[in-house]
Structure 1
Amino acid sequence: MTSRSIQKIQHYTINAKTLMICPDVDPHQCLIYEGEDLYLCESTSFNIVDQSCMSRGTTLDGRRQAVKSILENKHKPPIPIDTEKGLIFMPTKIMRDVECAWISYNHLHKVDAHPSDPSISNITFANGLTYEAIVSKKQLTKQIVMAGHVFGHFKKGSFLG
């Protein structure tokens, strides 16, 4: 990660520039990477994802249930925050786990296995930002495939008319 100045905020809504939401040392806060900006939010990553869904007229649980009906694999399902804009976020752990990071499917560029620890993935985003996620490359690759399936499910109507 590069050194960035942190802006403190109380609330946040996921948008097209959001790269990831990850835990902070304080379990009641999280760090948000948005483009070149870094925010420290006085909310959990779970609450930010839930509130971002609610601001679009649904709930995180509603999105989770919709994804479960699309996918056969129901473990750590990707969540479509905004189906019109194709904003899909993938949890690295069980959603309510305070150590869960949420990764934007749309901004992901590359995932590599950590050279010395197979339980860690090195994530590179399209803007060059890198992040070490506590999730294996194999598991994150499954998440990416599921997110692609969900993305295709919700976007196919816009291509077919």
Structure 2
Amino acid sequence: MRRIFMVKSPYYTVTKDTKMIVEEDSAYYRSSIIEENQTMKDEKSYSPYKPEQIIDYNCKRYGSTLNGRREVVEEILKSSSKIPIPINPQSGIYFIPTASTRNKNCVWIAYHQIKHYRKSDEQTLVLFHDGTSELIPTTASVFDRQFKRASQVIVHFNRYTLFGHGPKLW
């Protein structure tokens, strides 16, 4: 049975339990949020805000804006398209867009929730640490590139902790 949960606050607060934020094509709901031990077919929370608005709200909670995070990541990657977003770098919360944010099929996936991924026809099957999986509407090569780009950003933000040199960001 499918149950709908409305987000309790005006915006959804991204936590370590958040797996995905998906754009919805509904008259009222603009996003669905999938957390650990949930799938897109199961219980999920809905929000009247678009995924980018939710991500911007959460970036602000942790000291920046979505545009501020984008600027930093664009400089790191020397690219401005489909960039991963460090929502809360201190807690290791980074989200990967699977397509352009203007694309209605864009799914935002939490990097730390991904266990493995593989090709499934012209889509990508993402396996999560909680044992669930989702079929994502993007090719495995695009997803692989996004995953690696997020890895590069994570290393940049944690260079001092990992290697003992570079900027100490916190």
TM-score normalized by the length of structure 2: 0.84
**Which 5+ residue runs of structure 2 have no aligned equivalent?**
39-43
Runs of 4+ deviating beyond 6 Å: none
Structure with greater Cα Rg: 2
Partners of 1:122 and 1:24 lie apart in 2 by 20
**Is 1:146 matched with 2:149?**
yes
Structure-to-structure mapping, 1:114-129, within 5 angstroms:
114=120, 117-118=121-122, 120-129=123-132
**Is 1:48 matched with 2:46?**
no
The amino acid across from 1:56 in the alignment is Y
Structure-to-structure mapping, 1:49-128, within 5 angstroms:
49-114=55-120, 117-118=121-122, 120-128=123-131
Q: Which of 1 and 2 has higher RCO (CA within 8 Å, sep 6+)?
A: 1
Q: Once superposed, what is the RMSD of the aligned Cα atoms? A: 1.8
Deviation at 1:4, TM superposition (A): 5.7
The amino acid across from 1:69 in the alignment is E
1:82-127 deviations in Å (ceiling 9; x for gaps):
111111101111123333210111110111111xx32x11111111
TM-score normalized by the length of structure 1: 0.88
Query: What does residue 3 of structure 2 align with?
Result: 5
Q: Secondary structure at the match of 1:109?
A: strand
8 Å contact kept, 1:86–1:155: no
8 Å contact kept, 1:46–1:96: no
**Is 1:23 matched with 2:23?**
yes
8 Å contact kept, 2:11–2:57: no
**Which 5+ residue runs of structure 1 have no aligned equivalent?**
none
